[in-house]
Structure 1
Amino acid sequence: MVAHATDRPEKGGEVVVTEGVKDLSLRANWRTIAITLYMGISLFEYGFDKGAIAGFQAMPGFLQIFGYQNPNGSWNIHSGPQQIISSFMILGAIIGALLTGPVGSYLGRRHSMMMASLLVIIAIMLMAITTSFGALYFSRLLCGIGNGFLLNFSMVYLQESAPPHMRGLCFGVVTSWITIGTTVGMVINKETAGMMSREAYRIPLYACFPAPAILFLTLPFLHESPRWLLHHGRPEEALASLRFLRKGAYDEVAVQQEFEEMKAIAAREAETQADWRLIFELFRGTNLRRTIICVGVGTANAGVGAMFILAFGTYFFKTAEVGDPFLWTIISNCVGLAGLMLTWVFVGRVGRRHLIIIGCALCTVCMIVMAALYTNNGLSRHNAGIGLIVTTSVYLFGFNFGLEPYVYLVAGELPAQNLRAYTMGLASGVSFIFGWLTAFTTPYFINKAELNWGPKYGYIWFVSGLIVTAFVYFMLPEVRGRTLEEIDEMFRNKVATRDFPKYVCVEIEEARERAIMNTRAFAKEGSIEEKHISAHVENADNKV
């Protein structure tokens, strides 16, 4: 699909070109697809760590070093180390997320990801060689910080680099690597779990190395985000980066128009604080509305009880006594991956708002169905277990179909440009905090020695899910196909949520007009070599 130049009648019926040529096809935008897959490497590492490390505490090879042996010969681990191993990873991710803004402002997106990759490599090496609890705890914290950086900076880079019509698809594709990484980690764990040596957990750790190593070695060759370069006083590099990203899909007129939009926003934001005090801008004026939406939608994952399902699904499958719980975990995870891939077809047509609402609603319904299954005393244990497996699979389908990719998308595309990394870091940081609270408190509700609610805990998450769904419905605007600069203008002009799709951005139209004038000037100086671009510009000049 090609978006041709828009012609506008002038005096005497003459025509002046006012819009560049954009080829919207996937083939023409292959560079964006390639960068999306490349960014997926960082999220594969995040997902792999999640899937692999979680299984270490069930491996005799790991427990021989960090656990103890029961009188009957089985292996176990004390609750203290168990909590620290899990919580330090989340604590590190929270720290990494909250530092995304200031670190990214200083280092940029590319160098921040290089630093994060190095942190992950060091953490993996420590985990592989240490037999000390202190070093193990430190490595988990370090790994969490690195993964927090990788998650956020890869998302921010895509936000600032992808063309408007492809942002939703790019996020659907890139976040699928989290689920793919988690599944691969689980499969490797399943194959090595029976080894009665340290290699049981070291082999999965060795498999963690390639992703951060590839990133660290190749990121120096990647163009920095054009918007970051522009906001840091490097316009020539920013334009060169934008031309590289749009080559083959946009003509020079379209590139100049997008660049003019970016310049207008950069000039407006140049007067704001450029140091750590910038974080206070998140809570001032029209930015407060954006922050509330981004944080609110960002915590939707936790709000529909995702950590309850993800962290304790295997436990419930085990208590259901319907087969291998690890196998059912892998199968339900694959169902979730199918839901994620299905969104690639719908996000460009339906938009992220409707997908998020559908995802929230589906997860909320699954919670009450799961609770009801275990409240019905007339249902056999076996049938309840089968129902639990089906409900969990449907939940993960809905979660990946509408929530997992697009809460990150929203948290990155709604903020002001100079606050994007700060806002996304805050949103994911708060989400991590709620996820940690869920993981920490859930055992009190489901443990047989405590309240012993089991799956009936879903009643609480049903109510929470209703609140999340209502928040998204009333607060989240639809911005499908809009540039980041158009979104910024609509928020500054306090456009109502329901009016976003039909709003006409005047400032952006003016920026595009300026780009036409700039391109004419460049063409006269012979700086534009593309014949079809020169033809557009010369035609415009002859008819003005």
Structure 2
Amino acid sequence: MRAVPISANPLKLDVRSHRKCLTICFFLTMGTFQYGLDYALVGGFLSMPGFLEVYGYYSPTLKKWNIDPTVQQLISSLMTIGTFLSSLLVGPLSAKFGRRHGLWAAAVLNTVATAIMLGTTSVGALYVARLILGVSVGWFFTFSQLYVHEAAPAHLRGVVFGFYQVMLSVGSIVGASVDFGTHTMFNKRSYQIPLAIFFVAPTIQSIMIIFFPESPRWLMVMGREQEAEKALRKLRDTAIDEHQFLAELNEIKGSTRDQLEKNKKWLWLEMWRGTNLRRTLLCLSVVCFHAANGSSWVNIYTTYFLTIAGVTNAFAMSVMITCIGLIGCLFSIAFTRYMDRRTVMMIGCSACAICQLMMAVVWTVKPGSEVAGRCVVAFISLFTFFYVAYSPTAWLVGGELPNNQLRPFTYGLATALNFVGNWLGTFTAPYFINPAKLGWSAKYGYIWFGTNALLVLFTIFFIPETRDRTLEEVHEMFENKVPTHKFKTYVCTGVETYGKEGAAKADGLTKRKSFEQGDEKTGAEFEHLETHSARSSNKQDV
């Protein structure tokens, strides 16, 4: 941690002055509610008699309704395929249409998919709907994160990403709670009522986006500099000091011009060239931390361990564990402004490693016992707390690393790979856990202890410190090939120069106003500043 940030961020480093932007970012992250909601709902559907009567079959052997394993896998995997495909499309679509239109498109697809799932009894139509819903969720997830990366003040990006995780956790809690309330219904309403909730968050978000500006950095990349200035003004508080505003605007403008000069037309190729290669590899790695933590198998097989532990009401206990995750998320919002990114990630991955190890050790000592089951459930709860507390930081760092023009391409690819990693963890887990296969059960945690330990080492040696840095500062440090361990103390002179030029322009506007009011002394100062500003502008254009 550091007491005084070494940053070129010209804005007032508080929360109160940026309430307007925080409110906008809160509504923009609302779409991630869908991901948490789906994650919780679908697992419950597969245990609901009302759902199984429509999409499953009655087993005389088991004397209850069951579902074909292939149908079960497709319901889950088609959603993941959709998120994977949509994340890959984020780059070209976002580069052309912007962040807001991407979220509107996600809302439209969400409506179509939900309507199909509510109205159909055909398993084929359900497959199509799940694929479409996956595309929608992927866009909600990625476009919203791109927006808040580019809209939030540098010192509050961590807080904003806490909003994203809160929305995801609340979605999971709502999904698990509604499933708990309807799972005893023996008709289609048992799953139709939960599905109807899919309409709520996207509708609210789509209406609110009408009143919100587009990402100013995207507008700057598109060469629409006047619109970018208007968008930035809408994001910042009306009482903001003009010197601070023009300094920030000039930093974004000057740095973006530099970036556009260096990147050629084929952005998919530019990601892998020069200094962008390092940024791309780091972005892909840190976003995929989520898949390497082992959260997918822990969350999906919680019910199994609840059963072993002798818990009679697994639905209610699942809600409780999800609430623990929300507590972890709220906890992270409180400390994220005051702790370095690297510190948060090292503590988070270390805690995840310890929880995975302890689950495995307990199961090795007392395999299959009620005591072991209860211990595993306790460590699942702790794992959920630490994972949810640290995971927004990994998403945050991943989006801070690419430059303004390449961010949607790099971040979209990273998100797609993370979804693949999560799917792979979910798909392979039964081979390790199932008694008919390897039968490791909680001993599977030994593998994930190893991956988490590697993440800690990777963070120490390769992840740079970006706390309180503007995106333009991060760009300058990568362009100057600053070593990983010098990011924290490096002074960005280039971005700072842009900021001073912007502040000088603000002084010039003040002098102009005084000159027009008849102050001769101030008028002379204004003419001098105008000449200096024009020279600086000419140098920048060259």
Deviates most, 53-62 or 139-148: 53-62
Query: 1:348 Cα deviation (Å)?
Result: 0.9
In structure 1, what residue type is equivalent to 2:81?
A: L
Whether the 8 Å contact between 2:515 and 2:526 is mirrored in structure 1 is no
Aligned in 2, Cα 1:333/1:510: closer, same or farther, shift over 3 Å? same
Provide the C-alpha distance between the structure 2 equivalents of 1:376 and 1:516, rounded to a whole number of angstroms. Answer: 66
Question: Separation in 2 of the partners of 1:125 and 1:169?
Answer: 34
Which residue pairs with 2:468 in the alignment?
481
- Aligned equivalent of 1:454, options 437, 441, 455: 441
Contact 2:9–2:248 (Cα < 8 Å) also in 1? no
Deviation at 1:409, TM superposition (A): 0.5
Task: Report the CA distance between 1:521 and its aligned residue.
Answer: 3.1
Separation of aligned partners in 2, 1:265 and 1:327: 51
> What is the distance in 1 between the residues matched to 2:84 and 2:10?
43
Deviation of the 1:543 alpha carbon: 11
- Contact 1:290/1:415 (8 A) holds in 2: yes
Match of 1:244 in 2: 234
Q: 1:97 aligned to 2:84?
A: no
- Tell me which residue corresponds to 1:40: 29
Alignment partner of 1:348 out of 337, 340, 343: 337
Q: Give the match for residue 74 of structure 2.
A: 84
Equivalences for 1:294-333 in 2 at 5 Å? 294-333=283-322
For 2:219 and 2:412, how far apart are their aligned partners in 1? Answer: 20
Of residues 29-38 and 221-230 in structure 1, the stretch that sits farther from structure 2 once superposed is 29-38
Are the aligned partners of 2:82 and 2:132 in contact in 1 as well (CA < 8 Å)?
Answer: yes
2:390 is the counterpart of 1:397 = no
Tell me the residue number matched to 1:365.
354
Asked if the contact 1:43/1:177 (under 8 Å) is kept, the reply is yes
Q: Deviations over 1:146-195 (max 9, x none)?
A: 11011011011000000011011111122211011111100000100111
Q: How does 1:11-90 map to 2 (within 5 A)?
A: 22-71=11-60, 73-90=63-80
- 1:73 offset after TM fit, Å? 3.8
Unaligned runs of 5+ residues in structure 1 are 1-18
1:160 aligns with 2:150: yes
> Whole-Å Cα distance in 2 between the matches of residues 43 and 53 of structure 1?
16
Measured in 1, the distance between the counterparts of 2:379 and 2:55 equals 35
Change over 3 Å in CA distance of 1:309–1:380 after alignment to 2: closer
| 1:460-491 CA distance string (max 9 Å, x none) | 11111111111112111111111100010001
d(CA) in 1 for partners of 2:525 and 2:336?
36
The equivalent position to 1:212 in structure 2, one of 202, 205, 215, is 202
2:540 aligned partner? none
Q: Which residue of 140, 164, 168 corresponds with 1:150?
A: 140
> 1:370-421, CA deviations, whole angstroms, 9 ceiling, x for partnerless residues?
00001004x8812112211110011011101112x11110111111110111
Q: Trace 1:493-512 onto structure 2 (pairs within 5 A).
A: 493-512=480-499
Match of 1:288 among 269, 277, 288: 277
| 8 Å CA contact 2:279, 2:402 repeated in 1 | yes
Change (3 A) 1:528 1:212: farther
Alignment pair present for 1:119 and 2:109: yes
Shift of 1:427: 1.2
Counterpart contact for 2:109–2:136, Cα < 8 Å: yes
Write the deviation string for residues 181-224 of structure 1: whole angstroms up to 9, x where unpaired: 11110000010011111110000011111111222333222100
- On the 8 A contact 1:29/1:249 being kept in 2, the answer is no
CA shift at 1:541, angstroms?
5.7
**Pairing partner for 2:245 from 246, 250, 255:** 255
TM-score in terms of structure 2 length: 0.91
Question: Is the 8 Å Cα contact of residues 10 and 499 (structure 2) preserved in structure 1?
Answer: no
The count of residues paired between Structure 1 and Structure 2 equals: 518
Kept in 2: contact 1:336–1:396 (CA 8 A): yes
Please, what TM-score do these two structures have when normalized by structure 1? 0.91
CA 164–321 in structure 1, closer or farther in 2 if over 3 Å, else same: same
SS of the equivalent of 2:213 reads: coil
CA distance in 2, matches of 1:131, 1:273: 50
Superposition deviation, residue 514 in structure 1: 1.4
The residue identity in structure 2 corresponding to 1:423 is: T
Q: Which letter maps to 1:304? A: N
Tell me how far apart the structure 2 counterparts of residues 270 and 480 of structure 1 sit (CA, whole Å): 25
Amino acid of the structure 1 residue aligned with 2:387? F
Shift of the 528–61 alpha-carbon distance from structure 1 to 2, 3 Å rule, reads: farther
3-state secondary structure, aligned to 1:348: coil
> Are the counterparts in 1 of residues 100 and 209 from structure 2 also a CA contact under 8 Å?
yes
| 1:302 Cα offset (Å) | 1.1
Instruction: Indicate if the aligned counterparts of 1:23 and 1:249 stay in contact, CA closer than 8 A.
Output: no
Distance 2:110 2:524 in 1: 55
| Higher mean C-alpha deviation, range 383-392 or range 184-193 | 383-392
Instruction: Work out the CA distance in 2 between the residues paired with 1:528 and 1:458.
Output: 72
Shift of 1:96: 1.2
Q: Could you tell me how far apart the structure 2 residues matched to 1:280 and 1:53 are?
A: 38
Q: Which runs of 5+ in 2 are unaligned?
A: 1-7, 530-542
User: Relative to structure 1, is the Cα distance of residues 200 and 516 closer, same or farther in structure 2, using a 3 angstrom cutoff?
Assistant: same
- Asked if the contact 2:46/2:52 (under 8 Å) is kept, the reply is yes
**1:539 offset after TM fit, Å?**
12
1:417 partner SS? coil
**1:6 corresponds to which residue?**
none
Per-residue deviation at 1:25?
Answer: 3.0
TM-superposed deviation, 1:542? 11
On the 8 A contact 2:255/2:495 being kept in 1, the answer is: no
Whether the aligned pair in 2 keeps the contact of 1:520 and 1:538 (CA below 8 Å) is no
Distance 1:37 1:273 in 2: 32
Shift, 1:540, TM fit? 8.1
2: CA distance between counterparts of 1:528 and 1:396? 62
Alignment of 1:339 onto 2:306:
no
